[in-house]
Structure 1
């Protein structure tokens, strides 16, 4: 049976990357006045397409985008294929996106083999998560429409995993996947019962429906068990709504809490800081028993101890290596767990969450502010080491999802290398060379002032507190006085409570992100902060941040289920506004602050979740999602 997804058309009418270097920044002015008037007078996609044939450059491209949107709305698949084929031959547009459109149009015309050939040519080029998710979904839909459910299933699973991980919307994906699974035998389903927790959740849901098809009581019990094990799974959307399921969202009843922390070895100091935060938070929790276990205990003995204790909830481990070991032994598989780090492996349970002071959260927050402000050419400065390169790579990868421009990047090797890096990026060195050349032409003294490049509209420093205090003055003296003041931003690494007690002057004007716990003006629990300062007046910055993180790990336990399945819900903690994404990662939104007159003051900066290029409308930048 041919798969017809009406809602797909709704979102496709808003999918347009417009990745052309000729596209103006403001989408309302995309077309010249004459071209815009002609487009408004056109009656349908065909007439807009004909208008485009008589135009050139950016006007033609934007008219083709408009014709493409209209063709989707009109379900004129032959014309859509024709338009996108023409766009795909234009070097300055998103060719991958237009080839996906071509495959979609061919699929809608039952030209399935041609559509698959187009999709096959895109293998290895799908670097954007939106591209990958739609590629997998279209491939699965073609196989499903040809009554090939076994061939369709892996692509459906991949699409579902990508959507869940990257918060992408593909209407009717869940319904199409579920319909496809119901075509499979129990034997075929068993063969798919492996891989990610998303895939296993789908397969087990289908198996339950087959095994208990003749017993509604047993089926209800099996589904209830499935809901508890796969809390927040996208398969929930295909099940009948159950009022009784609200009970599953009630706060967890935790009588016995087990905490796994490093209590020996090189990381004991970090474990002590975390333990202090947990104990402080437990003062306000009604948990009967809390047991601390050294996570560095031999794995087999640790697994046996946890099995014997049968905890209601586990916090930890901290170290990635220990998280990996316990994952391989499935020790925590059926126990709700909040790991105190990220995890590079496959999530094994939807009741497992991951909490870390991840610098990528701050990079993402800054990037979203840059996009909200309309910055086009940010300059990024970072140390030339593994961490610096990782964060720059993360920023650039995300930036490419939302912007057609490229960033300017500078890596410095050490303190002595900073001036050269900055003057080179700002092209001050070239200005000095020009001044030198002019002076050689005259015998008299020539008044001169260096000029920096004028296209940089924001600067982001990813160095530590010492590096930032060296970089900021260099930036201040090397930005041309003829240019507008360039806003300068930094991460929480730039802020140190110890250093700030004696040195703030050189940072005037700098914006940075920080944990509320580290900003005295943002702390609501003043008594807790005072007690902490009395007990540990000289604590290192990292210990203070870990204390806040551990405190929040306990404080948010009552809300963790609701947070995991409610996208807009967040918990206000010492370490920021905390939410849980579909991959189980706790995301942090930090406080913005600014150095001003040798003081630190909180500021509110515009930040909003951006729309990926692949989902921006050709004409007005609006995403249409029902």
Structure 2
């Protein structure tokens, strides 16, 4: 094999390689070594072309700052009528470099009223692009929110692209689709296909799609949204995407998105392709055997839901109770040809694997490392972390307007973890934990804890003091403290059904009670003592229709005893299998977030899968799903622009 040192290009090749560098050097010598007078003689056209070619080369090779400087030098050396053209190029190069203030500085040197109409629009579009680079879509939209019939034809595709992007970022997808589709209609050939692909990409990046009602009577918009729904749901059942697309085409004939179908189907098959072999590492012997079996059976249930022709070979490895052996098991799985490793399940085993210097195959760990350990490349963490639920309880309470709250927790390590996460989340939202009480795990009478928490003990103390003063018995109605907005109840092992009636007895009527998923066990008998409690939980547990309900009922029928104890771990295994192609093939996995059995899944900067849970409330002893409460973006009215003047 010839090494690079032995290989010498022929003279023609050498000339071809050096030519761009020579052009660049000549251009730099032309403009950088000369003095900079206030006014210059116009440069010859050949020199301008040489400098422009050099600037373009700079942009192509990743040095937009140098390109911007060259464009500004050209602008200083051409007649006034030609200056805006080169200044716009300089602005765009500075924006590419992330130097948006320098781009705005150039824009500020131009007087819009002195520019021809087309260049006035081009200035507004370029400044709007700088706003988008700074993630200021409201300002971008305000600059270019003009009637379409007033946009010069030469600028329209660019303006519609920037305006459509701004509207998508402001979660106005319907208007964003309309702008980007109008842009595509102005283009042809490959440019048109690229513009249509942009619409698809923006829709796939949305965390949630607009309601169907928002596109009522607009078949073009509703067609895009219906196709996007099929795309966003395709990761759950990749094998059904082809059928969903065929059904879509039957309903939306002649829709412009049809031009993308061949490419979308090919991309889908590639992105959802499983590795040939998948390894599952679980402690199937020892203390954690039962939870491990639930994860395994959920994983295999998802595996056998897939058509046989597309299934990978799955091999299950027993890691046992010994943390120290997990690295050897991982190495064996890699030697056996695994394309991805799922597990281990326990935190110590995952921590041991994290410390390994060499992990050639991606790991989807089924737990979370301690925060101080941090994330590492090639190791994704996914589990059912209770602290995440406590934080989401706090977020829901604040969104409902309950900012001054109390908490009742078990006196256990788990209980204090929940309390700390809940308190921190409240503080992050400028809300307050007024007080908390802890109770014993086997306790049945919570009167003393609740009395203190509700401030009733102080009311009783005041009665006793007053009775001592007047030396006679007094009629008395105890009053609870009046500053409580809501109650966080952290409970396991069925104690919530004992606590809720006692809260009611001790004058907590009218104060909403919120809890984590631990107050509910899927399939449990109706318990009216829980009525009124709002709780966070995964779709697997509370969905009343769709695939989550169907799979829950099917699996609970197959393994009733194991499901009764570890029902949610089946869902963890189920989702772990579905995540395999997402982690294997996606450049930016879990963006947008994906609706799954365990929640809406996203990936944070530490390679931790975050779960957004659903909500339910007990009514007549059974959970009834609640609607999400979302923070709506504040979209200001666009400022009036003087772009439509002749």
Name whichever of 352-361 and 554-563 sits farther off.
554-563
Q: Structure 2: state its 5+ residue gaps.
A: 1-96, 103-266, 635-646
1:63-82 matches, within 5 Å, as: none
Residue in structure 1 matched with residue 595 of structure 2 by the alignment: 572
Structure 1 residue 255 displacement after superposition: 0.9
- SS, match of residue 555 in structure 2: helix
- On the 8 A contact 1:563/1:579 being kept in 2, the answer is no
Q: Does 1:419 align with 2:444?
A: no
Measured at CA, do residues 446 and 491 of structure 1 come closer, stay the same or move farther in structure 2, by a change above 3 Å?
A: same
Distance 2:420 2:549 in 1: 38
Structure 1 counterpart of 2:611, from 575, 588, 596? 588
Distance 2:385 2:312 in 1: 31
Structure 1 residue 432 displacement after superposition: 1.9
- On the 8 A contact 1:256/1:287 being kept in 2, the answer is no
Structure 1 counterpart of 2:318, from 288, 294, 298? 294
Structure 1 residue 300 displacement after superposition: 6.0
Measured at CA, do residues 559 and 487 of structure 1 come closer, stay the same or move farther in structure 2, by a change above 3 Å?
A: same
Name whichever of 460-469 and 538-547 sits farther off.
538-547
- On the 8 A contact 1:402/1:610 being kept in 2, the answer is no
Structure 1 residue 475 displacement after superposition: 1.3
- On the 8 A contact 1:281/1:555 being kept in 2, the answer is yes
Q: Does 1:470 align with 2:493?
A: no
Q: Does 1:340 align with 2:361?
A: no
Residue in structure 2 matched with residue 175 of structure 1 by the alignment: none
Residue in structure 2 matched with residue 377 of structure 1 by the alignment: 404
Residue in structure 1 matched with residue 583 of structure 2 by the alignment: 560
Structure 1 residue 428 displacement after superposition: 0.5
Distance 2:545 2:333 in 1: 38
Structure 1 residue 249 displacement after superposition: 9.1
Q: Does 1:512 align with 2:515?
A: no
Structure 1 residue 423 displacement after superposition: 0.9
- On the 8 A contact 1:456/1:486 being kept in 2, the answer is yes
Residue in structure 2 matched with residue 606 of structure 1 by the alignment: 629
Distance 1:271 1:372 in 2: 37
Q: Does 1:267 align with 2:288?
A: yes
Measured at CA, do residues 591 and 421 of structure 1 come closer, stay the same or move farther in structure 2, by a change above 3 Å?
A: same
Measured at CA, do residues 387 and 5 of structure 1 come closer, stay the same or move farther in structure 2, by a change above 3 Å?
A: same
Bigger relative contact order (CA 8 A; separation at least 6)? 1
- SS, match of residue 556 in structure 1: helix
Structure 2 counterpart of 1:551, from 550, 574, 578? 574
- On the 8 A contact 1:562/1:569 being kept in 2, the answer is no
Distance 1:457 1:597 in 2: 24
Residue in structure 2 matched with residue 496 of structure 1 by the alignment: 521
Measured at CA, do residues 364 and 609 of structure 1 come closer, stay the same or move farther in structure 2, by a change above 3 Å?
A: farther
Structure 1 residue 324 displacement after superposition: 2.4
- The TM-score, its normalising length taken from structure 1, stands at 0.53
Structure 1 residue 581 displacement after superposition: 1.4
Distance 1:536 1:5 in 2: 56
Structure 2 counterpart of 1:254, from 275, 298, 303? 275
Measured at CA, do residues 403 and 449 of structure 1 come closer, stay the same or move farther in structure 2, by a change above 3 Å?
A: same
- SS, match of residue 283 in structure 1: helix
Structure 1 residue 361 displacement after superposition: 1.8
Structure 1 residue 516 displacement after superposition: 1.9
Structure 1 residue 477 displacement after superposition: 1.6
- On the 8 A contact 2:515/2:534 being kept in 1, the answer is yes
- SS, match of residue 544 in structure 2: helix
- On the 8 A contact 2:541/2:552 being kept in 1, the answer is no
Name whichever of 452-461 and 526-535 sits farther off.
526-535
Measured at CA, do residues 529 and 251 of structure 1 come closer, stay the same or move farther in structure 2, by a change above 3 Å?
A: closer
Residue in structure 2 matched with residue 431 of structure 1 by the alignment: 459
Residue in structure 1 matched with residue 28 of structure 2 by the alignment: none
- On the 8 A contact 2:299/2:574 being kept in 1, the answer is yes
Structure 1 counterpart of 2:476, from 431, 448, 451? 448
Measured at CA, do residues 525 and 424 of structure 1 come closer, stay the same or move farther in structure 2, by a change above 3 Å?
A: closer
- On the 8 A contact 1:595/1:601 being kept in 2, the answer is yes
Structure 1 counterpart of 2:552, from 523, 526, 529? 529
Structure 1 residue 347 displacement after superposition: 2.8
- On the 8 A contact 1:377/1:408 being kept in 2, the answer is no
Distance 2:414 2:586 in 1: 30
Structure 1 residue 405 displacement after superposition: 3.8
- On the 8 A contact 1:418/1:471 being kept in 2, the answer is yes
Distance 1:256 1:579 in 2: 25
Structure 1 residue 478 displacement after superposition: 1.7
- On the 8 A contact 2:533/2:618 being kept in 1, the answer is yes
1:114-153 matches, within 5 Å, as: none
- On the 8 A contact 1:372/1:610 being kept in 2, the answer is no
Structure 1 counterpart of 2:389, from 362, 366, 389? 362
- The TM-score, its normalising length taken from structure 2, stands at 0.52
Residue in structure 2 matched with residue 171 of structure 1 by the alignment: none
Measured at CA, do residues 352 and 247 of structure 1 come closer, stay the same or move farther in structure 2, by a change above 3 Å?
A: farther
- On the 8 A contact 2:333/2:341 being kept in 1, the answer is no
For the pair shown, which has the larger CA radius of gyration, 1 or 2? Answer: 2
State the aligned residue count.
372
- On the 8 A contact 2:405/2:487 being kept in 1, the answer is yes
Residue in structure 2 matched with residue 305 of structure 1 by the alignment: 332
Provide, for residues 308-360 of structure 1, a one-character-per-residue CA deviation record: whole Å limited to 9, x for no partner: 213111111111222222233345x22122111112334331x3211111112
Structure 1 residue 369 displacement after superposition: 1.5
- SS, match of residue 446 in structure 2: helix
- SS, match of residue 460 in structure 1: strand
1:74-113 matches, within 5 Å, as: none
Distance 1:289 1:447 in 2: 76
Q: Structure 1: state its 5+ residue gaps.
A: 10-245, 612-626
Distance 1:609 1:309 in 2: 50
Structure 1 residue 584 displacement after superposition: 1.1
Distance 2:624 2:486 in 1: 20
Name whichever of 575-584 and 519-528 sits farther off.
519-528
Q: Does 1:276 align with 2:276?
A: no
Structure 1 residue 508 displacement after superposition: 1.3
RMSD (CA atoms): 3.7
